[in-house]
Structure 1
Amino acid sequence: MAIGLASIASPAPRLPHDVVDAASANDPRREPVRYWLTITLAVSTPLAATFAEPVEPTPTVTGGLMALHAPEAQAGPCIQPSERAAALHAADAASMLLGLDAAGSSLGADTRFPFYPQAGNLYSDIFHNNYVDLDPSSGILDWACEDHTYNGHLGHDSDLRTFSEQRIGVPVFAALPGVVVGVADGNFDERTSLTPAPANYVILDHSALDPGLRTLYWHLKNGSIAVALGESVEPGQQLGLTASSGFSSGPHLHFETQRNGLVFETMSGLCSPTNSSWATQWSKRREHYLRDFGFVRGVISGSYAPPTPFPRSRFTTNADSSISYWIQGHNLPRGSNWRMRFIRPSGALEFDTGARSFGFSTADFRSYWAWFNWNVPAMRSVFGEWTVEIDINAETAVVAKVTTAPSSTTPPNRPPYAVSGAFDPSEPADDDVIFFRLDADLVHDDPEYDVVSYRYQWFLDGAPIRDIVSAAHADAIPPLATFGGGAELVVRVTPSDADANGATTETTLSLGPTPCTAADFAEPYGIVDIADVVTFLQRFGAADPSADLAAPQGTIDIADVVAFLQLFGAGCA
């Protein structure tokens, strides 16, 4: 759905988009009138000096909310019945040829998925939009007895922001070890209309782990499929890239789980009272948050809509009669309001809109985008870094730095901000898929609000094992056992806005064995032997605090020796 609104500062209304009454004296594109005041000063000498100085009245700020848009409800399943039937029939044939056992498991099987099989962070740079529809009628019902699905949907949909991220690349991974029994590639991948079209996809069979279990990965990027029919894959192995092929209105992964040909919901909740199929089940993010922000010189076309990449400018000039600011967000409740503030480079407040209504009260928007157009005349004459703040429901969501400059100059582009992150899990076992998750800000990730990509370089004991440029705020590698194990894992992440690279950050994870008991003082860790006795006695003799193993704490005495001998005798569990 789309709601067009115009919330305009007095004294004269402005029509939405770029339709403006040019005859109006308050036309925001009209330069302010300048008055010249002649002052004659009398001085004691026989001279008279005449000065001419411009006196400019306080100009009127005009503008407001131009439009608020929410996507239409999905009409029809994103895997069309005919396409689904053909793909599954081919998968059945491949399974038979490959000798895979597709029977023998029940709906109560205890397989757990250790991670969601898409790069990025859920409810952050990727948004979990739809779950399985559990209502067999024409109604909709998700696992939590809510409406985060659409009629007839048979999987999980996790969305990217726009085609900008798709074009950079967002990987899709195998959720479990398996065998490729279905694959399609070569189909157009930037579809925006919900009309039948072939998709790019991968189907995996996991019968060696759980007979009858399959996973489906749909709407993938043309040319990105990285596996072949009959190939065995490891969990965390890249299958392809997220896109919008097939019956799709925007880039997303449709992840589907089947057992013995029957779709099942992996989440556990009030309306799905089975055990969760996730090792760690996440919670829905229900509070409002912004997923992106930017600005553009002039007026945004009335026909623009995501997932087409958002229009972006890096700076404004005195030649710009107005500036449009856009936001993309989620979970906007009915009755919401907004507020904007324009602050001069000096820190002085130029204009405050006050709280204004978005103008809708009958529904909540799970996803939305909106844009505002403003003519702030002072931004054409006061050059430097302005601050534009946007509040949503009294909470500041954007603190943007907008550079204004003379039209004869081009301010230099600045690189994206450096990022940090962490390994997930922080202490991986040999059979764990390892993610590196960034804590990058969704809005304030680049000084000019450019689209940012991230180069992930992975090293195991100094040898490179993965190197990829991605738009996602997380990347992953298969279990370390796939690489033969190692002692040290390093990830280097470099952000880029396509014209400049930000600082590279490096994070190291030690994979070596750790002490198995308080008596395991020396390498090799994991066993207790004479080396631990020698090290303990050395530390005991030096009154090292690490030798303080028994009460009273703070005193190193014979009780610590007794405690060490008891621990040593017990060995490692």
Structure 2
Amino acid sequence: MRKTFAAALILLGSGAAADPPPALGLPADCTLGETCFIQQYVDFDPGSGASDFMCQGLSYDGHRGTDFGLPSMRAMHAGVPVIAAAPGRVRGIRDGMADRLYTDDMAAELEGKDCGNGVAIRHAGGWETQYCHLRQGSVRVEAEQQVERGDVLGFIGLSGRTQFPHVHLTVRQDGEVVDPFDPDGQITCGAPSQETLWLDAPEYRPGGLLAAGFSTAVPSFDDIKEGIAGRTDLAPDAPALVAWGYAFGGRADDVMQIRIMGPEGEVFSHSTTVDKAQAQFFRAAGRRAPSGGWEAGSYSAEISLRRDGAIVDSMTTPLTIR
């Protein structure tokens, strides 16, 4: 576990020490790796490419924060609180912008409002945290209000320039973006800084699975992102048994393996290769019903995402046929 970053104390003329940076908690009331996922980090590439603090691809050109995403629109509608990562005073808020998927024709309309609905909080020593893409009408705080770590600011939404529900956290000192995972900005590939701004630094994941499920046909990507594609019960006369996995941070040559297990053992196994880097993607595979229908009982889908022969992430989801 990497320790919290402690900036060198600068002695002032009065003998007082400079204010330390804020120690950050998570900006959302969720469980990382289960109900929310870090899908993008600060971009360290000074050119037109993108690279996160681990010299890997979980970023995009010019990205200035850390994105804590939800697995589905259904989770967003259910409500996931955005919370203050550290104590401070609210510098400003915006609310009232609609929750909708960004498309290129919205660029002019969103000029200067990419953050969507959001909250900015001032901390001591010139530090600031900003929370973007909150749900319309959900902002709970006012300008100049004092907040404590964990106080609810609003709810994760889809406002501003975004294509998936998440809260984007930007950290700044004196107006300059600071990556809370590598605050000194000195990148050494394969050896990230041992000092961070986090109270408890989240584990880096180079991609992973957001969700998995069963259906009777290959589902639409829209239904998967909405969170309505999965089935937990099917009848023996279901026309087919299809398992799918929904993932983020895919790279060319990643392999998603889909394995369906039934009452008598393996029903189906299939592997598919990702042909290009993809921020989010899904794969599905299955088989048609056998003559006489499916045997009643407990089934499971075992989904794994592999990279260079190693498992990046895996997920198992159950199904009952009765």
Partner of 1:138: 48
> Where does the alignment leave 5 or more consecutive residues of structure 2 unmatched?
1-17
User: Distance in 2 between the 1:184 and 1:283 partners?
Assistant: 31
Out of 128, 136, 150, the position equivalent to 1:222 is 136
In structure 2, how many angstroms separate the alpha carbons of the residues matched to 1:250 and 1:179? Answer: 28
Looking at structure 1, the residues matched to 66 and 167 of structure 2 have their Cα atoms a distance apart, in angstroms, of 8
> Contact 2:237 / 2:294 at 8 angstroms: preserved in 1?
no
Residues 38, 69 of structure 2: 8 Å contact kept = yes
Structure 1 residue aligned with 2:216: 297
The residue type equivalent to 1:390 in the other structure is E
TM-score (norm 2): 0.76
2:204 to 270, 284, 287: 284
Are 1:190 and 2:100 an aligned pair?
A: yes
Cα displacement (A) at 1:278: 2.3
Identical columns (%): 23
Tell me, in whole angstroms, the C-alpha distance in 1 between the residues paired with 2:180 and 2:62. 16
Shift of 1:363: 4.7
Alignment match of 1:129 (pick from 18, 34, 39): 39
Change (3 A) 1:398 1:380: farther
Q: Compute the displacement of 1:378 (Å).
A: 5.4
Give how far 1:247 is off: 0.6
CA spacing shift, 1:378–1:339, aligned 2, 3 Å:
farther
Match of 2:259, as an amino acid? M
Q: Quick one: structure 1 residues 222 and 147, their matched pair in 2 at CA, closer, same or farther if it must change by over 3 Å?
A: same
Name which of 224, 229, 234 aligns with 1:316: 234
- Tell whether the 8 Å contact from 1:133 to 1:152 is kept in structure 2 after alignment: yes
Deviations 1:230-267 (A, max 9, x none): 22212211000111101110101110112222222222
The separation in 2 between residues aligned to 1:214 and 1:231, in whole angstroms, is: 14
- Structure 2 CA distance for aligned equivalents of residues 139 and 298 of structure 1: 38
Query: Residue 201 of structure 1 aligns to which amino acid in structure 2?
Result: G
Find 1:264's aligned residue among 178, 183, 188: 178
Higher relative contact order (CA 8 A, sep 6+): 2
Q: How far apart are residue 205 of structure 1 and its match?
A: 1.6
SS at match of 2:211: strand
1:355-378 deviation per Cα after TM superposition (whole angstroms, max 9, x unaligned)? x43134x55656432222421225
Cross-structure match for 1:116: 26
Kindly provide the amino acid, as one letter, of the partner of residue 246 in structure 2. Answer: Q
| Residue 213 of structure 1, CA deviation | 1.7
Using the TM superposition, give the Cα deviation of residue 166 of structure 1 relative to its aligned residue in structure 2, in angstroms. Answer: 0.4
One-letter amino acid of the structure 1 residue matched with residue 131 of structure 2:
Y
**What is the distance in 1 between the residues matched to 2:137 and 2:273?**
44
**Matched residue SS, 2:225:** coil
The equivalent residue for 1:519 is none
- Please tell me whether residue 173 in structure 1 is matched to residue 173 in structure 2: no
Structure 2 counterpart of 1:454: none
Amino acid at match of 1:336: V
Give 2:155's aligned residue: 241
Which segments of 5 or more consecutive residues in structure 1 lack a partner in the other structure? Answer: 1-107, 406-573
Look up the match of 1:371.
284
- Select the structure of larger CA radius of gyration: 1
Which amino acid in structure 2 is aligned with residue 235 of structure 1?
A: R
1:351 matched residue in structure 2: 267
Partner of 2:13: none
RMSD over equivalenced CA pairs, Å? 3.1
Distance in 2 of aligned mates of 1:350 and 1:136: 49
The amino acid across from 2:174 in the alignment is: N
Structure 1 or 2: more helix by fraction: 1
Where does 1:528-547 land on structure 2 (aligned, <5 Å)? none
